Structure 1
Amino acid sequence: MTAPATLRARAADAASYFPPLLAEAEHLATTVLLGEHGRRRSGIGDAFWQYRPAQVTDEARSIDWRRSARSDGHFVREKEWQIAQSVMLWVDRSAAMGFASSDNVPMKADRARLIGLATALLLVRGGERVGLTGLQLPARSGQLQLLRLADALSEEHDDEYGTADPRGMLPHSRALFISDFLGDIGPAEDALTRAADRGVRGAILQVLDPQEEAFPFDGRTIFESMGGGLRHETQKAGDLRVRYLDRLAERKAHLEALAHRTGWQFSTHHTDNSAAAALLWIYGALGRHA
């Protein structure tokens, strides 16, 4: 059993981390929220939007009987969006995301956490429910959920590379995956395929350090993964540059093709660029699936 003093110390460490993260995400979200004029989406509201065929899950009181009388089927009168469906986040917190090439750029994990939480802030402010994929944190709305998200995102994982988890995504909901996607592409491909089969649409954001994009190495170099599981030493790092850049381009093309095939959106973000630009792209990408 954990001693009370140890437990208090751990709680203090956690508390000291995620409120600043939440404050930073709040600031970032504000830069995108200003000037946002809303999105036309179906839901609960006052303004008529469209008719759609009734489904077996619709209550009888939601059917527009006057419109239905003009045809052989039943129709539901949908209204302007106010309260939306669930949005599930997967933010890679594996060892690989702990990389930063210099003190002038944030770790990939920190940037991913910031963008993920700022996205949640924007969505919750819009009346949507946000959660984490898997079974850790189901989608909910409200300020308390944002605190839960900040707490969960502050946790780090020991895995060498992150594995996308498609569990917990409701049919026809939306999702956001944030990772460097430099590990085995199989789990991500499986997660997106399974999500698409359930009618889930969303966005993929690949987060890379500028050094990972440029590969500025030459001469004797030792490459070691952040988790320590992989190590490679070479006397001629410059000779690897072309092959590395080709493989990186192939990975991006694979992700883009995967997104296109499953109806998702794909973009790459570099940690030396503005986080606001990435957040704005995500907000627009998720809006296109509304």
Structure 2
Amino acid sequence: MSLTPAQLRARAESASGALPALLLAAERLAQQVAPGAHGLRRAGPGEDFWQYRPASSGDSARSIDWRRSARSDAQFVRDREAQTAQTAAIWVSGGRGMDFTGAEGRETKLDRARLLAVALAMLLLRGGEKVGLLGEPARTGRLQAERLAESLLAAAPMAQDDAAPPAAALRPQSRVVLISDFLALPDWLPAFLARAAGSGVTGVIIQLLDPDEESFPYEGAAVFRSAGGGLRHESRDAGGLRAAYLDRLAERRAFLAAEAMRAGWQFGHASTAEPPSDRLGWLWRVLGG
């Protein structure tokens, strides 16, 4: 979808205006889930002091901190902290369907996905990891969260309802988080996960839905249209479709869970009605935070 210079300028101004609010909300969320988080706190090669520990039979005389040992009857080793940065990539679907909300005042799926992505990035960056959007450079440092948020806000909306992540952007031994509603059949997923598994890439799949998409509360005559306009269905008894819809939703989740398990990934589903801390906390735990 091509944009005029005026449209590009308007989008840039809109993204710039929304950036402080997104960063502030993500920072508050990250603090709520894991205040003071430091994901790489373990002994290993590095320059920063971590802890003193009693010397063991495998420690050489050179590794003993004699100054600290002189203050007691035991010998102590000065451990340093591991500084090997892991790489994490986050993908948020840009499909038109992600801009849906079922109620006025309720955030869209895209808004919630952006919040989770930036808050998770902040937590990972605090642990010294390299983080980026899938297909963009992964970096360390505090400014990377701002760069990631800017990219999410400035992304052009897609014409179609669903989107697929760039499999060519996968990097060996990295971790990937995919966030989408997955309402359109993700026929790209098996090949994507197979390529990931072949490169030692692990990750998490999140299906993020609006509460109306989870419960299908509609009754009476209704017209259903896809966000991209490609699909349309008119019904005189929307309530009569509920059971079939919920069955299809359960089948989709079973498919996503099975594909994730086959590749050694994690699968979870979330709703924009739940506190964002619930899903972020789960993500932090399964990623080893």
Deviation by residue 1:131-184 (Cα, 9 ceiling, x = unmatched): 1112xx211112332222111111242132121222322211111001111112
Report what 2:95 is aligned to.
Answer: 94
Q: CA deviation at 1:32?
A: 1.4
Specify the alignment match of 2:148 in structure 1: 149
Judged with a 3 Å threshold, the aligned counterparts in structure 2 of structure 1 residues 32 and 239 are, in CA distance, closer, same or farther, namely same
Distance 2:189 2:43 in 1: 29
Q: Secondary structure at the match of 1:167?
A: helix
1:190 is displaced (CA, Å) by 2.1
Q: Retained in 2: the 8 A contact 1:83–1:126?
A: no
Matches within 5 A, 1:239-278: 239-278=240-279
Q: Once the 2 structures are TM-superposed, how far is the Cα of residue 188 of structure 1 from its aligned partner?
A: 2.4
Quick one: distance in 2 between partners of 1:247 and 1:237? 15
CA contact (8 A) 1:180 1:207 kept: yes
Deviates more, 1:23-32 or 1:36-45: 36-45
Residues 95 and 157 of structure 1 are in contact (CA less than 8 Å); yes or no, is this contact kept in structure 2? yes
Instruction: Give the 3 Å change call, closer, same or farther, for CA 121–191 of structure 1 in structure 2.
Output: same
Q: For the Cα contact (< 8 Å) 1:129–1:141, is it kept in 2?
A: yes
- Which residue of structure 2 lines up, in the alignment, with residue 116 of structure 1? 117
Structure 2: state its 5+ residue gaps.
52-79
Q: Secondary structure at the match of 1:204?
A: strand
2:211 paired with 1:210: yes
Relative distance call for 1:10 and 1:226 in structure 2 (3 A) is closer
Q: Is residue 102–residue 210 contact of structure 2 (8 Å, CA) maintained in 1?
A: yes
Query: Does structure 2 conserve the Cα–Cα contact (< 8 Å) formed by 1:90 and 1:132?
Result: yes
- Give the conservation status (yes or no) of the 8 Å contact 2:209–2:270: yes
Closer, same or farther: CA 47–13 of 1 in aligned 2, 3 Å: closer
The residue aligned with 1:75 is none
* Equivalent-residue separation in structure 2 for 1:178 and 1:22 (angstroms): 19
Query: What's the secondary structure of 1:27's corresponding residue?
Result: helix
Is 1:188 matched with 2:189? yes
Q: Supply the distance in 1 between the matched residues of 2:247 and 2:284 (Cα, whole angstroms).
A: 30
Where 1:140 maps in the other structure, the secondary structure is: coil
Report sequence identity in percent. 47
Alignment correspondent of 2:71: none
Which range is displaced more, 182-191 or 25-34?
Answer: 182-191
Amino acid at match of 1:146: A
Secondary structure of the equivalent of 1:157? coil
The aligned residue for residue 70 of structure 1 is none
User: Which digits, 9 at most, give the CA deviation of each residue in 1:264-285, with x for residues without a partner?
Assistant: 1111111000101111111111
Deviation string for 1:104-127 (max 9, x for gaps)?
421000000000111111111111
SS in 1 for 2:167: coil
Asked whether the 8 Å contact 2:37–2:123 carries over to 1, the reply is no
d(CA) in 2 for partners of 1:175 and 1:212? 25
Contact persistence 2:40–2:83 (CA under 8 A): no
1:240 Cα deviation after fit: 1.3
What letter matches 2:237 in structure 1?
K
- CA–CA separation in structure 1 for the residues paired with 2:44 and 2:82: 4
Match of 1:72 in 2: none
| Counterpart for residue 222 of structure 2 | 221
- Residue 185 (structure 1) shift: 1.6
TM-fit CA distance, 1:7: 7.0
User: CA contact under 8 A between 2:43 and 2:50: conserved in structure 1?
Assistant: no
- Conserved in 1, the CA contact under 8 Å of 2:39 and 2:128? no
Q: Count how many residue pairs are aligned between Structure 1 and Structure 2.
A: 254
| Cα gap change, 1:187 to 1:41, in 2 (>3 Å) | farther
Residue matched to 1:73? none
- Counterpart-to-counterpart distance in 2, 1:94 and 1:173: 24
Structure 1 residues 221 and 91: CA distance shift in structure 2, 3 A: same
Q: CA contact under 8 A between 1:138 and 1:168: conserved in structure 2?
A: no
Find the aligned partners of 2:18 and 2:151 in 1 and give their Cα distance: 11
